[in-house]
Structure 1
Amino acid sequence: MSKFPVVKTGEDVTRQVLADHPELMVVAFRFGAVGAEGALHHHPHVQSTFVESGRFRFTVGDDVSEVGPGDSFVIPSETVHGCVCLEPGTLVDCFTPRRDDFL
């Protein structure tokens, strides 16, 4: 069980840090309803995303794709990205270096 709290990040969206080190962080984002959004944003961290469950439409730079359970991909530093939930589920994101703003 994670020692970190569950934090509401948007309508029907939460995040919870699962593991943390100065060079790497693992975070679960849970989307509870169709249409819930991870707003378009960018950050200096390299991010990998693994779809644990659910379906999502992801925008990464100029590319838009639908992803589902078992899919994974990497988002380069400073690339604009976001998603819309098509079926409730969980994304597991890893960030390097860690996201100090999530602590």
Structure 2
Amino acid sequence: MSDYPIVSTGPDVTRQVLSDHETLMVVAFRFGASGAIGALHNHPHVQSTYVESGRFQFTLGNEEREVGPGDSFVVPSEQMHGCVCLVPGTLIDTFTPRRDDFL
């Protein structure tokens, strides 16, 4: 269980830091309803996403990809990305370096 707070990032979407170090951070994004949106954005961090549960339609640069439980992928630094939840679930994102804006 994480000691970090659960933060709302939009309708039916929350974020919770699970662990962090100055060079690495693990974060759970929980989507509570179909249609919930992980807004399109980019950042300087390299991100790895693992789909713990649910189904999601991801935009990764110019590519669209549907992912489900057990799928994972890497988002390069500065690549535009975002998702739409198709089936409620949880994404586990790892960032390097740590996302200080999440603390």
- Matched with 1:77 is 77
Give the strand-richer structure, 1 or 2: 2
TM-score by length of 1: 1.00
Q: Following TM superposition, by how much is the alpha carbon of 1:86 offset from its aligned partner in structure 2, in angstroms?
A: 0.1
CA deviation digits over 1:43-88, x for unaligned, max 9? 0000000000000000000000100000000000000000000000
* Percent of aligned positions that are identical: 77
For 1:29 and 1:76, the matched residues in 2 are separated by 19
Question: Partner of 1:101: helix, strand, or coil?
Answer: helix
Please tell me the root mean square deviation across aligned C-alpha atoms, in Å.
Answer: 0.2
Cα distance in structure 1, aligned partners of 2:21 and 2:37: 27
Q: Secondary structure at the match of 1:2?
A: coil
Number of aligned residues: 103
- Unpaired runs of 5+ in structure 2? none
TM-score, structure 2 as length reference: 1.00
Q: Which residue of 2 aligns with 1:101?
A: 101
Amino acid at match of 1:80: M
